[in-house]
Structure 1
Amino acid sequence: MVSEREVVAEVRGLTIRRLRAWVRRGWVRPAVRDHEYRFDELDLARLRLLCELREELGVGEEAVPLVLSLLDQVYGLRRELRRLAEAIQAEPSEVRERILARLRGGL
């Protein structure tokens, strides 16, 4: 976990003012310890993405919440698919084969 100043030093194009605005908007949700924001690796990745969206891709401020929502949905679905794949992998081989056959047959 890193502080605001460490985040700003690490994420190109990020300022304290912009960081705090994004936290207020809920675009990034750091932990709070001793009345200070603390950011983990996921927060840093999201902040890098936000900087890229705004600075390099020219995504407008009004579109950022939609983009973040869609990305969060994609990541959530990927997690669910991974858990589903793990559950299928734990099944006996004949069950896995039937599932695979159904998937290949277009359900």
Structure 2
Amino acid sequence: MMAIDDLLATISALQRADLERWIREELVVEQDRGSLTFSDMECARIRLICTLTYDLDVDDSTLPIVLSLLDQLYDTRQRLFSLTRAIKAQDETVQLAIAAATLPESKLEV
């Protein structure tokens, strides 16, 4: 957990007005509404938004779209990791059957 003042001190480029606007626009979520404290995940998201905004000059109107696409990408990545773990937990016969059904023959490895 990080308080807003600590966050502002940690991320030198971050402007309080920008952070407050991102909260209003629900691009960032406070841990407890009105507390102005943020989870580690939200702090990482704020750093990402700062990079997109200040370094990459992503426009304010485009920012929600970019974040939505990144959220979808991260969700898909997590699902793929879960699926991979589930497949690795199966016996070799099942693993080979899944590989045969999903990979082109040239990429199939035993």
Report the TM-score, using the length of structure 2 for normalisation: 0.87
Structure 2 partner of 1:23: 23
Report the TM-score, using the length of structure 1 for normalisation: 0.90
Structure 2 partner of 1:56: 55
Structure 2 partner of 1:104: 103
Deviations 1:45-96 (A, max 9, x none): 1111111111111110000000000000000001110111111111111100
Aligned pairs for 1:70-85 (under 5 A) are 70-85=69-84
Runs of 4+ in 1 over 3 A off after TM superposition: none
Identity, in percent, stands at 33
Gaps of 5+ in 1: none
Matched, 1:45 2:6: no
Kindly provide the amino acid, as one letter, of the partner of residue 24 in structure 2.
R
Q: Name the count of aligned residue pairs.
A: 105
Kindly state the Cα deviation for residue 19 of structure 1 after the two structures are TM-superposed: 1.1
CA contact (8 A) 1:31 1:38 kept: yes
**CA distance in structure 1 between the aligned counterparts of 2:87 and 2:49, rounded to whole angstroms:** 36
